[in-house]
């Protein structure tokens, strides 16, 4: 295994992650501002909290890229919006699912190189991304529970 090549791949991946953290922060700020309806008051507060957490993630990922010898990007991923409240929440949830997938891959790559200190930083972030996804699933009324099998005595 070529250590430097693997490290370069990780840094490139982290820069993609960073561009999506920027996009997520902006998307949440915009969605929180344009969501309409009394039933969305609590959701608006949640989205504002998500925006602040995406900002913190962007700072952590930028510092990690620098630590690993890369240069943090200033590019942002594509920001989505919609006139529909529900569609905006779906856009946010889809992004969270994609983000979780990317970070799990990054954790795997970092740990392949024995960089457990760096992977811990991504682990802490991905736990928060999962909480974001759960908040959005609840807001959208997505119920993933499976019926519990009844006991046969
Ligand atoms: Fe994030
Ligand atoms: Fe998130």
pLDDT level of residue 12 (50, 70, 90 thresholds): very high
CA angle in degrees (0–180, nearest 5) for 24-50-76:
15
Cα(51) to ligand 2 centroid in Å equals 8
Percentage of residues in the chain with pLDDT exceeding 70?
Answer: 97
Q: What does the pLDDT read at residue 100?
A: 98
pLDDT at 126 over 70: yes
Q: What does the pLDDT read at residue 153?
A: 57
pLDDT level of residue 146 (50, 70, 90 thresholds): confident
* Residues listed for the chain: 153
Ligand number with the minimum distance to the CA of 49: 2
How far the first Cα of the chain sits from its last, in Å, is 55
The whole model's pTM is what?
0.94
Q: How many helices (H) and strands (E) does the chain have?
A: 4, 0
Q: What does the pLDDT read at residue 151?
A: 67
Cα(123)–Cα(20) distance, integer angstroms:
17
CB neighbours of residue 6 within 10 Å: 15
Cα(131) to ligand 1 centroid in Å equals 10
Cα(26) to ligand 2 centroid in Å equals 12
Ligand number with the minimum distance to the CA of 55: 1
Ligand number with the minimum distance to the CA of 130: 2
Cα(6)–Cα(74) distance, integer angstroms:
23
CATH topology of domain 3-140: Ferritin (1.20.1260)
pLDDT level of residue 44 (50, 70, 90 thresholds): very high
Cα(3)–Cα(34) distance, integer angstroms:
46
Please report the sign of the dihedral spanned by the C-alpha atoms of residue 119, residue 4, residue 20, residue 66.
Answer: positive
């Amino acid at each position: 295994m070529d250590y430097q090549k693997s490290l370069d791949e990780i840094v490139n991946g982290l820069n993609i992650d960073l561009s999506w953290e920027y996009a997520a922060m902006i998307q949440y700020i915009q969605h929180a501002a344009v969501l309409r309806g009394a039933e969305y008051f609590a959701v608006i507060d949640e989205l504002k909290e998500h925006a602040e957490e995406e900002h913190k993630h962007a700072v952590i990922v930028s510092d990690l890229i620098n630590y690993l010898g890369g240069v943090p990007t200033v590019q942002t991923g594509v920001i989505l919006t919609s006139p529909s409240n529900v569609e905006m929440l779906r856009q946010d949830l889809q992004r969270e699912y994609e983000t979780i997938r990317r970070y799990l891959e990054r954790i795997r790559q970092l740990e392949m190189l024995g960089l457990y200190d760096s992977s811990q930083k991504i682990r802490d972030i991905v736990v928060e991304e999962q909480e974001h996804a759960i908040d959005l699933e609840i807001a959208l009324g997505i119920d993933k529970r499976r019926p519990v099998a009844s006991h046969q005595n």
